[in-house]
Amino acid sequence: MYLDSDNRRQLTPQLALRVAIIGGIALVAFGMVFFRLWYVQVLSGDRYKAEANENRVREIKVQAPRGEIVDREGRVLVDNRTGLAVRVTPKELPARAAERRGVYRRLGEVLRMKPDRVQRTVERQFRALPYSPATVKEQVPQPIVYYLFENQDDFPGVTVEQVFLRQYPRKEIGAHLFGTLGEMTKEQQRQDRYRGVALGDRVGQSGVEYQYDRFLRGRNGASRVEVDARGDLKRTLEERRPAQGRQLRLSVDLDVQRAGQDALGGAAGAFAVMNVRNGEVLALGSSPSFDPNLFSKLIRPADYKRLSSEEAGKPLVNRATQGGYPTGSTFKLITAVAALEGGLITPDEVVYDPGSLRVGGVTFKNAGDVVNGALALRKALSVSSDVFFYKLGLEANSAGNGLLIQDWAKRLGLGRSTGIDLPSEEKGVVPTPSYRNDGYAEYGECVAKDKPTPEEISLGECGFFDRPWSQGDNINLSIGQGDLQANPLQMAVAYAAVANGGKVVQPRLGRRIEYPGGRVLQELDAPVSRKLKISAANRQAILDGLRSAASESGGTSADVFAGFEIPVAGKTGTAEKGAGRADQSWYVALAPYPSPKYVVVTTFESGGFGAETAAPAARSILAELFGAKAGPTPTGDSQD
């Protein structure tokens, strides 16, 4: 049946409008799709292609072994060892969560770890590097490795690989010098010295491991691998082998370092051995010490807490550079320099020592109430006359002399950093009137504000400056007592300056940077020294007094060095610390006399008289230093 034209449906205006709108929308949509495809494929094609390749190619880091640290003779102090680490490869683990947890459970039983801990360790590393194997445990013994190999079907995805671990074969000997390692933190990552180092890399955290980290850490290697859309490894594209860090040669002599550590005998104290002419440090030690091998892996919080605790003696503290102690009579060398160069006395001027000095209602006595009578500087140093130096301290504090002793103490290296190539060195304190008066003002403000009880004040709740500076403080300073705080390395620098003619050396440990194997790459030049003007006659008078103290009858350390084949000049020191605490024992030796090459400093926190503890320890170190016979080490005169 056909319809004529009159029966055909007419295209109304409304219908035409709808068709036009729909057509316009379709045209716009088609245009948007067209231009989007053109933008993606033509304008941005290269960028998206690069991103696709980056998603397809992964780089797995291979951390470099650190450079070795050797002593001046090339003997290894710190090196690396290969260890066996258990790792889990993500693509080989079971896909089902229950089966995966079963692997973690079995692995935890073998490694003696809780399954939850295994799972957390693995998944944390997977989130950071989803294509890279995760390390579960390092330093795994061989029997466990054999067990895993023999039962591989029960441990899908579990492998054992060799890794480089830092090794400190000398253990507690030199631990504070060599330092420790630890994973780089986010705070360290922002520092320029760690530019290019990735989170998780192990870097030096203390000691020379920190100071020379940029030489020691080497250059990491990498494996470039191709993965599929699920992140599974398809093939290895390229491998770049890691480059071991440079070797660091120190000025340290291992035998002398060991002798110093043995001389301390585990007691709280420190020692320093330095070349007085160029500042090379042959030994520097602190006790109690610690085993830095604990830090070659992730240290347990309990171990770190123990090594930092007061009860254990804070083994992590390097007392040789961070200790702050009154020095006792070893400070008399500094007082002597100040008095001679300041014109308070001449080398041969005689001063009478009646055994005591009374100032401001306080009586200052010689140790043991000894009366030394008339004596000049050389004899005053030999017998360690306190009254002789009390009088110098009193005169140095009088009008017109300023801060004579304090100024010379700082010139000789106290109250300031020595500049040794170790981190975290403490400056110590050379007390002045402003130092104590400022502290006393703070004390007054604290008392007025908090109104503590007398018991709280006595316990130091408001600090210990409960009075302003007085003449007695300068008298105490003249013999190394009172608020003075110094460490063995600072005393070594001060004595070295007198021994070498006035050159204030900067101590140093690093001698040169070498290629693995010992070929020289870079010499580490000695820092520029400061020069002081000290009269040759004044310097010789002081050295003569120190020599007499260690060799002539009545000298405070003469008995200790009787029969010792190396001529020594030295000074004892006994510092009272109060509050019922045992005295600090000190000894500083210069040898060989009359042209000293080395200075040796020993101190014991609770050693008593210097001649009883510190001097015999110094003798033992000198014997090793010069290859001399140690022989018996009798104690000296206990008056100082």
d(CA 300, CA 307): 11
HEC sequence for 337-396: HHHHHCCCCCCCCCEEECCEEEECCEEEECHHHCCCEEECHHHHHHHCCHHHHHHHHHHH
Bigger pLDDT: 60 vs 529: 529
Inform me whether the pLDDT recorded for 392 exceeds 60.
yes
pLDDT higher than 90, residue 568? yes
Distance set, CA 561 to CA 66, 273, 635 (Å): 44, 18, 9
More confident: 537 or 461: 537
Beta strands in 168-220 (DSSP E): 181-183, 202-204
| pLDDT given at position 139 | 78
pLDDT grade for 441, boundaries at 50, 70 and 90 = confident
Distance separating alpha carbons of residues 360 and 474, to the nearest angstrom: 13
Give the pLDDT band of residue 57 (cuts 50, 70, 90).
Answer: low
Lowest mean pLDDT among 80-84, 432-436, 487-491: 80-84
Q: Write down the pLDDT at residue 439.
A: 83
| Residue 424 phi, psi dihedral angles, 5° rounding | 65, 35
**Residue 344 binned pLDDT confidence (cut-offs 50, 70, 90):** very high
Amino acid 14: pLDDT: 73
pLDDT over 70 percentage in the chain: 85
Higher pLDDT, 278 or 439: 278
Say if CB 587 and CB 264 are below 8 A apart: no
* pLDDT of amino acid 508: 97
Q: In the structure encoding, which two tokens stand for residue 76, read together?
A: 């290894």
Q: What's the pLDDT band for 112 if we cut at 50, 70, 90?
A: confident
Residue-wise pLDDT for 315-333, tens only, equals 999 999 999 999 999 999 9
Band of pLDDT at residue 422, cut at 50, 70 and 90: very high
**Cα distance between residue 207 and residue 176, in whole Å:** 6
Task: Give the tokens for residue 537.
Answer: 């006659």
Q: What is the pLDDT of residue 477?
A: 97
Find out whether 214 and 193 touch, Cβ atoms under 8 Å.
yes
**What is the structure's pLDDT at 304?**
77
Averaging pLDDT over each range in 85-99, 104-118, 507-521, which range is the top one? 507-521
pLDDT score at 158: 87
pLDDT tens-digit map of 138-155: 778 888 888 887 788 888
Confidence of residue 2 (pLDDT cuts 50, 70, 90): very low
How does pLDDT run across 120-139, given as a tens digit for each residue?
888 877 776 666 677 888 77
Locate the domains of the chain by residue range: 90-156
Q: How confident is the model at residue 462 (pLDDT cuts 50, 70, 90)?
A: low
Instruction: Write out pLDDT tens, residues 230-247.
Output: 545 566 677 778 888 999
Q: What is the mean pLDDT of residues 297-320?
A: 84
Instruction: Check whether 299 has a pLDDT greater than 60.
Output: yes
Number of H helices, E strands in the chain: 22, 23
Average the pLDDT over 376-402 and give the result. Answer: 93
* % the chain with pLDDT above 90: 54
- Reported confidence tier of residue 3, pLDDT bands at 50, 70, 90: very low
Query: Where does the pLDDT of residue 286 fall: very low under 50, low under 70, confident under 90, or very high at 90 and above?
Result: very high
pLDDT one-digit tens code per residue, 194-223: 888 876 678 899 999 999 999 999 887 776
pLDDT given for residue 44 in this prediction: 55
Phi, psi of 169 (to 5 degrees): -65, -20
User: How far apart are alpha carbons 527 and 525 in whole angstroms?
Assistant: 6
Spatial contact of 82 and 162, defined as CB atoms under 8 Å apart: yes
DSSP 251: S
> Which DSSP category does 522 fall into?
E
- Whether residue 48 has pLDDT greater than 60: no
What band does 294 get if pLDDT is binned at 50, 70 and 90?
Answer: confident
Across 595-618, average pLDDT: 96
Q: What are 535-550's pLDDT values in tens digits?
A: 999 999 999 999 999 9
The closest alpha carbon to 496, from 413, 608, 586, 391, belongs to 413
Q: How confident is the model at residue 1 (pLDDT cuts 50, 70, 90)?
A: very low
- Alpha-carbon dihedral angle through residues 545, 549, 550, 551, given to the nearest 10 degrees: 80
Mean pLDDT confidence for 600-604: 98
Mean pLDDT of the chain: 86
Question: What digits encode the pLDDT tens for the residues 72-102?
Answer: 999 999 999 887 888 888 878 888 888 888 9
